[in-house]
Amino acid sequence: MVEVSDKLEEEEKELPPLPNLEKWSKIIMRLAPFPSGPLHIGNARMVILNDYYVKRYDGELILVFDDTIGSEEKVVEPDAYDLIPEGLDYLDVKCHRTIYKSDRLDLFYKYAVDLIERREAYVCDCDAEVWRTKHKLEMKACPCSFLSVEDNLARWERMLDGSYPERSAAVRLMTGMTDPDPAMRDHVILRISDAEHPRVGAKYRVWPLLEYSWGIDDHELGISHIIRGKDLVKEGKIEQHIWNIYGWPHSELMYYGRIRFQDAKLSKSKSRKEVLDGVYSGWDDPRTWSLQSLEKRGIHPDALRKAMLDLGLSVVDISMSMKPVYSENRKIRDEQSPRLFLVLDPVWLSISGLPTSVTEVEAPVHPDFPERGVRKIPLNVKKGAVSLGVSSTDFQRIDEGEVFRLKDLANFTMRKKKAPSALFYSLDVDDVRRISGPIIHWVPEKESIPIELVMIDGHEVEGVAEPSAKGLKQGTFLQFERVGFGKVFEDDPKIRVAFSHK
């Protein structure tokens, strides 16, 4: 027994300590994604929770690609082997080891033989449907379970050597046919699949099921604590059954409920199809809700982390909004985000009557930090007249004759009757403040920069940004005043920005 010091103290949100710490000399946990695509926001809870405790207890985190053969609906996507670590990197999660389930088949075979020899498992060649109705539901033992060890081992060999076609035989663990829970009755732990595996090809045709492979591996890898979704509680029970057979110490099992995001519909299979078909721009398309897509949008990993940790370890299924994540992201990012004017769907106003003294506007890079300087917006006024763009929604909102302010510039009277235009009214901000008139953002027609904004739903909208947007560099997180936050993900030939949130 080693003293496991609890390093966390005055952290704002403290999760409960891990159970039975004293039983483990070291905290070892694991991340076990099935590599079917990049990690997405729905997987973030699993990752962050495990990482949180490993860091808190100075433990070890193992990345285990749970890449067994899967099923027709669940197939290994080779790109995922790179996309998953990429997502972990973004979340600042460090894995101390990386392991591939597909490298460990021999180990699972070894234990399969041992379990058969101990009469804890048997090879069943019943039809799955028959087995379910005649045996499982009626709680009647399967005739295969009475076969001798020798017969079972012979059957096992036939599974391996190809004599048994796919689905014609499987290894069942003798958990007991009289268990009140039908889910627990002699569950299949290994089965045949002739599918090709992206990493090991056709080397193996007998593959373990999740609950079995983990029953072995959680022990083999010395996993002390397991935090996983509650859809895996049955699997946990089967693991415990295996641990009991061998008298192994039980890893501590913890479950959390499922999260649904109100503003995000997650479907890895749909994403995969759309990415492959080119409908989505790639695995970082906002509609995939992949970790990559969140990074592209400039969602700070700490914002995600905080939101996930705030959920705690509740086992209740929840439906949460992205709002808390966005709120946290604004808090983190606001201070560092330069301001800029971007006008979507511009309406060009013919401005007239501008005093000759007004030739250029200076607006703060950040209103809370004047020392960061100003952005210069040249006007190119010709005889007191100039064309300035405002967003169409603002234009529609302001009535004929109403006084409004173009932020950092001056106050104007709206003229709509013939053509969109505005007449200079005054310079002083207070004039418009007194009447609570609108203060809106704008861009000059000359020298402004076209910008493409990729929205969260994948749609792209064209906009025009003020001249100082010229030379914006990829990776810059910024705020378009009154439009929202975003991150530049392309700067050549065109500036393209991923919209983050309001």
Q: Which is nearer to RNA, 367 or 450 (CB)?
A: 367
- Closest to 409 in 3D by CA, of 436, 460, 443: 443
Q: Which two tokens stand for residue 199?
A: 């990493």
| Residues 40 to 99 in contact with RNA, rule: CB under 7 A | 66, 68-71, 73-74
Q: Closest CB to RNA among 212 and 281?
A: 212
Task: Tell me whether residue 2 or residue 130 sits nearer to RNA (CB atom).
Answer: 130
- Contacting RNA within 266-305 (CB under 7 A): none
Q: Which of 145, 327, 387, 413 binds RNA (CB under 7 A)?
A: 327
The CA-to-CA distance between both ends of the chain, in Å, stands at 51
Nearer to RNA by Cβ, of 368 and 400: the residue is 368
Among positions 463-502, residues that touch RNA (CB under 7 A) are: 479, 481-482, 502
Of 76 and 281, the one with the shorter C-beta distance to RNA is 76
318, 385, 435, 461: which one binds RNA (CB under 7 A):
318
Q: Out of 310, 402, 431, 445, name the contact with RNA by CB under 7 A.
A: 310
* Token couple for 358: 């007004």
CB of 453 within 8 A of CB of 344? yes
Q: How far is the C-alpha of 449 from the C-alpha of 361, rounded, in Å? A: 16
E strand spans, 324-402: 339-340, 342-344, 346-352, 360-364, 374-378, 386-391
Burial class (CB in 10 A: 0-12, 13-18, 19+), 400: exposed
- At closest approach, how far in Å is the CB of 292 from RNA? 20
Q: 369-428: which residues touch RNA (CB under 7 A)? A: 393-394, 405, 407-409
Chain centroid to Cα 431, Å, comes to: 48
Give the single-character DSSP code of 385.
B
Order of strands, sheet of 188-192, starting from the edge strand that comes earlier in the sequence = 121-124, 170-173, 188-192, 206-208
Number of residues that bind RNA (CB under 7 A): 81
Instruction: Determine, following the binding rule CB under 7 A, whether residue 209 of this chain makes contact with RNA.
Output: yes
Residue closer to RNA by CB (options 51, 186) is 186
Contacting residue, 96, 118, 140, 331, with RNA by CB under 7 A: 331
The residue within the footprint of RNA, chosen from 314, 336, 380, 396 (CB under 7 A), is 314
Q: Which residues contact 396 (CB under 8 A, 6 or more apart)?
A: none
Residues between 92 and 131 that touch RNA (CB under 7 A): 124-128, 131
386-391 and 346-352 strand pairing: antiparallel
In angstroms, rounded to a whole number, what is the distance separating the alpha carbons of residues 337 and 370?
A: 13
Per CB under 7 A, 244 contacts RNA:
no
What lies within 8 Å, CB to CB, of 89 at 6+ separation is none
DSSP 8-state symbol, 329: H
Least gap, CB of 254 to RNA (angstroms):
12
* Cβ nearer to RNA, comparing 122 with 207: 207
Q: Tokens 């499987």 label which residue?
A: 170
For residue 122, CA distances in Å to 147, 342, 501 come to: 8, 68, 56
Positive or negative, the CA dihedral 154, 156, 162, 166 is positive
Please list every residue from 14 through 33 that binds RNA, using CB under 7 A: 16, 32
Q: Residue 281 or residue 330: which is nearer to RNA going by CB?
A: 330
Q: Which of residues 122-181 bind RNA (CB under 7 A)?
A: 124-128, 131-132, 136-137, 166-170, 180-181
**What gap in Å lies between CA 121 and CA 118, rounded to an integer?**
8
Nearer to RNA, 293 or 329 (CB): 329
Residue 198, interface with RNA (CB under 7 A)? no
Candidates 2, 276, 279, 315: give the one binding RNA (CB under 7 A): 315
Q: How far is the CB of 195 from RNA (least distance, A)?
A: 10
User: Hey, what are 22's tokens?
Assistant: 């004293």
**By C-beta, is 25 or 178 nearer to RNA?**
178
Out of 58, 103, 196, 231, point to the residue binding RNA (CB under 7 A). Answer: 231
